[in-house]
Structure 1
Amino acid sequence: MAVDHAADIRRTITGVLLAAGLLVVLWCRGWPLLGVILLVSALGLWEFYSLFWGPRGRIPSRLCAIGLGWAMLLLTWMRRPQDALVCLGAGFVLAALSFLFRWDVIEEENAFSSSGIFMAGLAYVPLLLLPATYLSTTKLIFVLAAVAASDTAAYFIGTRFGHHKLWPRVSPNKSSEGAVGSLAACVLFCAVYGEIFGQAGWLAFALLGVAVNAFAQLGDLFESALKRSVHVKDSGSLLPGHGGILDRADSLLFAMPMVAVVDQWFAFF
């Protein structure tokens, strides 16, 4: 596979800047972290809806979803997760009303699709971002670094040594070699992290690395399938060398909730 060195440079510079910015925000914690979470939620939702509704389609629905997403995140930040779920339920009620009125007026056979897309956006972005509002700095750094190791290894190994397609219909550019490299890098990082900082030891962290990588690759493939279904290459162009917010956060959105659930049952940190 041909290597685009200019793309590698853009990707590396953007990645370094993102990592530096995230470290500063995580060190500050508090309102700066919340602000970044809310920004990622809003941009991610906008990109998600743009995939299906076009760059400027259904603006009121987008703003409503962003408001509901922010409410979910703010309420979880304030230790009121039960109220965050109420906001998700409110989103479904609004989507149901939208479907009823649209179907009553024009009787579209696919009138429910827009309501389904509205709810899918809420479930995909702000709901999966909720753990970022309550996980400790140590745990956030761990999952961010593990996912970054997975994504970086997948990209550089895949572009240089990838010859066998992983799942061509879903993502024609992803290779089996990149997937194996991603798994190896994630497990190695987690094992080293566990040996140095963890309470559970390197072997338990290596197994956690397998799970983190599986969910990270699943998130990457899911977003790739979304883009393929609407025939676009990237979810956006905000991040040079990476694409949009969803292109950068797709793996994290699946891996972070998994780590949050595991953290409730096992003492890794």
Structure 2
Amino acid sequence: MPMIEKFRAAGIVTRIITAVILAAVLIAAWVTGGWYIAALVALIVVVGMGEFLFMFQPEGGWGMKMLGLVLAAGYVAAAAFLPQYPLEHALGVCFLLVALYALVCWSREQTLDPLRRAAVVLCGLVYLPMLLAPAIHFSRWEQLLIVLVPAVSDMFAYFAGVCFGSHKIWPAVSPKKSVEGSIVGLLGAVAAACALGFFCGKAPLACFAALGLVMGVMAQLGDFFESALKRAVNVKDSSRLLPGHGGVLDRLDSITFCAGTYAAAAAYFPFF
């Protein structure tokens, strides 16, 4: 197949237009900073949480879904307004509220459904607000890092996979991902981290290279994880909100894993 036909089949034009719009929104919030970042994180988390909940239960369970959305927003608000408040305590409060609501529902239904719905909500809270909320208090360069590294990795992997990807890396989880795309994506992640470290970082460049490699691996694992979620419920995209990209979860998959990875690494080693 000619290269131009490969890109047309992959919907590259639509993907690029949507990516440019998303980049403009992210850059505007990043440049403005402050509460704009917190508001953007809250919006992303709530929309992503909604997609997550509806993926696993398209119908019914409206009370648990609403509780999940409220708790996701509340978790981000606690992170933004109460930075001194340990977030594990906020997660504990979320667990108690979900468990109590599930208990009430179970007493009425006497089935496993309320407990399954509760498990989905709790998993969504760990997957989205818990991993993303700490980014509110990252420095501006750290915020740029957790978005830039997975974005560059994904872009490099995508183009390399379309152009010359021929060996499937994990077809049981994501049939279209290739070994070639994965390797090029890792190289892109390392290059992005090193470039940011060279201009803005305080740690040695070798540390940023190692960080980029780890974050590149985690970005791809985040992508695989979300692919597994979608295959488990037999859907192609988490939603149709973003033309050419699917839903918010389809764009967050790499960033959530990278944000959590960087938060853990930065707690022990100062990069900026």
Shift of 1:225: 0.3
TM-score (norm 2): 0.92
* Distance change (3 Å), C-alpha of 1:77 and 1:198: same
Matched, 1:176 2:179: yes
77 and 98 in structure 1: CA distance in 2 versus 1, 3 angstrom threshold: closer
Determine whether 1:222 maps to 2:222.
no
Q: Which amino acid aligns with 1:47?
A: E
Instruction: Tell me if structure 1 keeps the 8 A contact 2:78–2:90.
Output: no
Of residues 196, 199, 202, the one that matches 2:202 is 199
> Aligned equivalents of 1:264 and 1:89: distance in 2?
22
Rate the CA distance shift 1:233–1:81 in 2: closer, same or farther, 3 A.
Answer: farther
Aligned length: 268
Q: Give a deviation string over 1:10-55, Cα, whole Å, max 9, x none.
A: 111111221122111111112222211111011000000011111x
Q: Partner of 1:108: helix, strand, or coil?
A: coil
Give, in angstroms, the shift of residue 153 of structure 1: 1.0
Is contact 1:132–1:140 with CA below 8 Å preserved after alignment? yes
The SS at the match of 1:174 is coil
Please list every run of 5 or more consecutive structure 2 residues that lacks an aligned counterpart in the other structure.
Answer: none
Amino acid at match of 2:20: V
In terms of mean alpha carbon deviation, does 95-104 or 28-37 score higher? 95-104
Q: Which digits, 9 at most, give the CA deviation of each residue in 1:166-214, with x for residues without a partner?
A: 1111111111111111101111221222223221232111111011111
The farther-off stretch of 194-203 and 135-144 is 194-203
Aligned runs of 1:1-16 on 2, under 5 Å?
3-5=6-8, 7-16=11-20
| Residue from 43, 47, 58 that aligns with 1:43 | 47
Aligned 8 A contact 2:61 2:117 in 1: no
> Of the candidates 137, 142, 152, which is equivalent to residue 155 of structure 2?
152
**Identity percentage of aligned residues:** 37
Alpha-carbon displacement from aligned partner over 1:50-105 (angstroms, at most 9, x marks no partner):
11111x53232222122212221112112435364333222222332344344444
Distance 1:23 1:253, change over 3 A: same
* 2-structure distance, mates of 1:58, 1:72: 21
How far residue 218 of structure 1 moved from its aligned partner, in angstroms, is: 1.2
